[in-house]
Amino acid sequence: MQSKKLTLFKKYAILLTTSVFSGVMLLSWFQTVYFMNAPERYLPGLKITMSITAGLTFFIALAVFFLTRPFQRIISRFEATGKALSEEEKMIVLNTFGKIKTASIIGCIIGFILGNSITVLVKYILGKYDGTIYNVVVAIMQAIIYAAFVAIFIVYVTDYFFAYYRKMLHIHDTSNIKKGRNVAQTIRFSVIISLLFIISNILMIAFPYFPKELRIGPINYLKSIIYAMILNLAPTLAILMLMLKTLTMRIAISEKQIKDLADGKASELIDITNFDDFGELTSSTNKLIEQQLLLVHRIQKEIQSLAVTAKETAATSQDQNAAVKEIVATMEDTNNLSENISEKIQDVSTLAQSTTNDVAKGAVSLQSNVKKLQEIYEANQETIEGIKSLSAGIANVWDIVAMITSVADTAKIIAFNAELEAANAGEAGKNFHIVASEIRRLADGIIDNTKEIKTRITDIQDSSDKLILASESGTTKINEGVSTAKELEANFNSISKAAETTASSAAEITTIIQQQTAASGQILVTLKQISNGAENFSSATESTSSAAENLKTILNNINGQETSNE
């Protein structure tokens, strides 16, 4: 780390020393050979100049050494840890190079004034200078100009180092207002110094080559100056043009870069060839390009995502549109179905009403039937009573028959007794026996007939009993029929109520279905509007998708390389 720090300082010291000493030697050459027209004084004078320059350089190097110590510590810490610089360290870095540049400029001015113009001025005051006061003034101006030149050089070198180390420390993008001003100040300062340098050249470069007699006297001197100006105009203009060209070229490059960036044509990073302000500007431009590329990349991804989403949305919208159309068709079918149902329900209502009327008629008929059954029941009861009365009469007849039978039996017995008496009477009772026998036969016949009557009466009684049983059964059946009829009447009433309820419900259902149909119609209208909206949305989504594709194409055109990489 120590050697690296010394290397940095050595590099800076060598560059500064060699450049300063080279410049001083060159300037001394110009001064003694061209300005003073005394080449023989160059080497003797160079000793003093070099001594002053060495002292000056030493002090500058010493100042730079101390000034670069905090900077070196930051570099060592960064190289050891690799951590990013804190804000305090960044300020130290920036202040370090600012101080270095300030010290270099002050040192150059003091050094050149002390080392160049003061010598001429002292000699002129002591009378040892063979030039005029004009030469002294020119020497002082030249010292100032050269000091400015060297200072600019030192600033350039310092900025080079500064840019190098800023890049190394990854704070290259730490631009602030001072950095922005630095470029403009440098340019302005360079232009001013260049103008002074041009004026000095106009005044001095060709002047020493004029004959001395031409430089004697104000007129001749003025003529000499004019001639010198004319002779130096071309190379001066050439130098000026070269310098301007150098500046404008750098500016034009940066301008082109920025313009490309502004036009969206910048697709590649620009190589940083110089670590000066322009390099920093290029770095910033690269940073901007990177940000732009990153932004474009993000926008591209977002647009791509947007395109995909738009396509999906379009597809979904089309699906939804189709679904809405299907729903519309279904709703139309439902509407028609509801209308059909409404018609059917109205038919049901009519049928229910008709059923109610029929049931009412049926109930009336049933009541009539019940009445008839009641009459039949009563008639049947009368029949039963009649049959019972008949049975009672038959029972009376039975008694009569029994009495007849008894009489017949008695007659028969009497006839038997008569026959017995006739038989016992012998021949005299024969005829009586015949009469008695006939009477007995008559009694037998009566008995047989009464038996027949008994059989018939029994049959009649059986029939009567059966008739009574049948009538009783008929009564039971009639009662059951009456009960059934009453149940039927109740059922009819229930059916009638149910039919009325059905009719009422059907009417309510009809109303509800009509309301539903109306609501369905409204829903249908709304769905059609939704369908139209969905179609509009679908077309809008397609437009969005198309716009996203167009935007994607534009971005691809902007950043073809990145797009191809994607």
Partner 1 sequence: MNEQIVESIQKAKSASVSENTQNEEKFLWLVFSICGRKFAVESKQVKEIIQDSDVYPLPFVPSYIEGVLNRRGDPCAVLAPDMLLEIPKKENEDNENKKKRIKQAQVFLVLAIPDDQVCLHIESVLFFKEKLKSEFNAYHSNEDIEFYRGVFDVDGEEISALNIEAFEKQLKKDLGNND
**Residues in the site for partner 1, rule: CB under 8 A?**
409-410, 412-413, 416-417, 419-420, 423-424, 427, 430-431, 433-435, 437-438, 442
Q: Judged by CB, which is closer to partner 1: 429, or 474? A: 429
Q: Judged by CB, which is closer to partner 1: 1, or 425? A: 425
Nearest to 422 by CA among 442, 440, 443: 440
Minimum CB separation from partner 1 for residue 467, in Å? 31
Q: Judged by CB, which is closer to partner 1: 214, or 442? A: 442
- 151-178 burial, b at 16+ Cβ within 10 Å, e below that, comes to bbbbbbbbbebbbebbbebebbebbeee
Q: Burial, 300: exposed, middle or buried (Cβ in 10 Å; 0-12, 13-18, 19+)?
A: buried
Q: Judged by CB, which is closer to partner 1: 160, or 432? A: 432
Q: What DSSP line would sit under 34-93, residue for residue?
A: IIS--GGGHHHHHHHHHHHHHHHHHHHHHHHHHHHHHHHHHHHHHHHH-PPPPHHHHHHH
Residue 274 φ/ψ region, left for φ over 0, alpha for ψ in the -120 to 50 degree band, beta for the rest: beta
As a whole number of angstroms, the distance between CA 14 and CA 516 comes to 101
Nearest to 260 by CA among 562, 558, 38: 558
Minimum CB separation from partner 1 for residue 409, in Å? 6
Alpha helices in 264-276 (DSSP H): none
As a whole number of angstroms, the distance between CA 93 and CA 379 comes to 139
Minimum CB separation from partner 1 for residue 438, in Å? 5
Angle between helices 177-204 and 133-168 (to 10 degrees): 150
Tokens of 30: 């110009």
Minimum CB separation from partner 1 for residue 431, in Å? 5
Which whole-number Å values give the CA distances from 263 to 79, 300, 549, 550, in the listed order?
40, 17, 21, 18
* Cα–chain center distance at 197: 66
Q: Judged by CB, which is closer to partner 1: 166, or 412? A: 412
Q: Judged by CB, which is closer to partner 1: 166, or 440? A: 440
Q: Judged by CB, which is closer to partner 1: 401, or 443? A: 443
3-state helix, strand, coil in the chain (%, to 5): 90, 0, 10
Q: Judged by CB, which is closer to partner 1: 409, or 535? A: 409
> Within 13 A of 463's CA, how many CA atoms are on the CB side?
8
Torsion of CA 557, 561, 562, 564, to 10 degrees: 90
Minimum CB separation from partner 1 for residue 394, in Å? 23
Minimum CB separation from partner 1 for residue 447, in Å? 10
Minimum CB separation from partner 1 for residue 398, in Å? 17
Minimum CB separation from partner 1 for residue 490, in Å? 56
Minimum CB separation from partner 1 for residue 452, in Å? 18
Cβ–Cβ < 8 Å for 272, 282: yes
Radius of gyration of the chain (CA): 74
Q: Judged by CB, which is closer to partner 1: 82, or 426? A: 426
Q: Judged by CB, which is closer to partner 1: 385, or 399? A: 399
Minimum CB separation from partner 1 for residue 478, in Å? 43
Q: Judged by CB, which is closer to partner 1: 250, or 433? A: 433
Q: How many CB atoms lie within 10 A of CB 382?
A: 11
Minimum CB separation from partner 1 for residue 406, in Å? 8
Q: Judged by CB, which is closer to partner 1: 316, or 437? A: 437
Minimum CB separation from partner 1 for residue 453, in Å? 19
Cβ–Cβ < 8 Å for 329, 528: no
Minimum CB separation from partner 1 for residue 391, in Å? 25
As a whole number of angstroms, the distance between CA 538 and CA 558 comes to 29
Q: Judged by CB, which is closer to partner 1: 34, or 416? A: 416
Minimum CB separation from partner 1 for residue 414, in Å? 8
**At 174, is the secondary structure helix, strand, or coil?**
coil
As a whole number of angstroms, the distance between CA 555 and CA 264 comes to 9
Task: Name, in order, each residue with C-beta under 8 angstroms of 381's C-beta and a sequence gap of 6 or more.
Answer: 475
Angle between helices 277-425 and 177-204 (to 10 degrees): 160
